[in-house]
Chain A
Amino acid sequence: KNEVEQSPQNLTAQEGEFITINCSYSVGISALHWLQQHPGGGIVSLFMLSSGKKKHGRLIATINIQEKHSSLHITASHPRDSAVYICAVRGMNSGGSNYKLTFGKGTLLTVNP
């Protein structure tokens, strides 16, 4: 069973700051997802990673498979980035007929103007 840990649990930043959210997992994976959830709202997929680094606008996601660690970075943060950011992993033994995800508890990010 994979344990997914995120840090920090809560993060408050000033507009314009560089943000880093970390995710560690206990067992080897085949893919890692970063997701965004607004309070009371739905879940939006930001990235799926199996190696290296991906960038989309001001968001950057990296993964180190050997270290079992991923980071999500937000450059030039803005109040509209305020949300819960969730790391979710797909296990090595899944696939074929199942790509279920195991979720972390999420990081609540608040960006103040």
Chain B
Amino acid sequence: EPEVTQTPSHQVTQMGQEVILRCVPISNHLYFYWYRQILGQKVEFLVSFYNNEISEKSEIFDDQFSVERPDGSNFTLKIRSTKLEDSAMYFCASSGSGSNGYTFGSGTRLTVV
């Protein structure tokens, strides 16, 4: 069964450092998303991406965040200057049209120290 692959599974970074979280969505999917889940809280939407541009972003997705699809297969989330409160599990997801086949990756646990 097709999978969404996320790397790394865990990342520890110093406050103020840049991090890049990587995702390989399902190959024939057209819609890509990043979500995050702070420990003990519900999953929150960060950003959606379609046709090589951001289609919607949440209030959380401020100027410190950016997304790219650099080569037609990878989908990355960059946090420019990490804060302690960015510590969370970050999930990448992809879907076909009508949210068919909505598939989540296994997540990257980001710890900012």
Contact = CB atoms under 8 A, between A and B. Distances in A.
Interface of A: 31, 33, 35, 40-45, 48, 86, 88, 90, 94-95, 97-106
B101 to A, nearest CB: 8
Interface residues of B, number: 25
Interface of B: 31, 33, 35, 41-45, 48, 50-51, 55-56, 91, 95, 98-100, 102-107, 109
Contact of A99 (B41, B91, B99): B99
A99 B104 CA distance: 13
Listed residue (A43, A44, A48, A94) with the most chain B CB atoms within 10 angstroms of its CB: A43
Contacts, number: 64
Contacts of A40: 109
B42 A98 contact: no
Contacts of B42: 86, 103-106
A97 B106 contact: no
A27 B41 CA distance: 22
- Which 5 A-B residue pairs are closest in the complex by CB-CB distance? A42-B106, A99-B99, A97-B55, A43-B104, A98-B55
A63 to B, nearest CB: 14
A41 B102 contact: no
Contacts of A86: 42-43
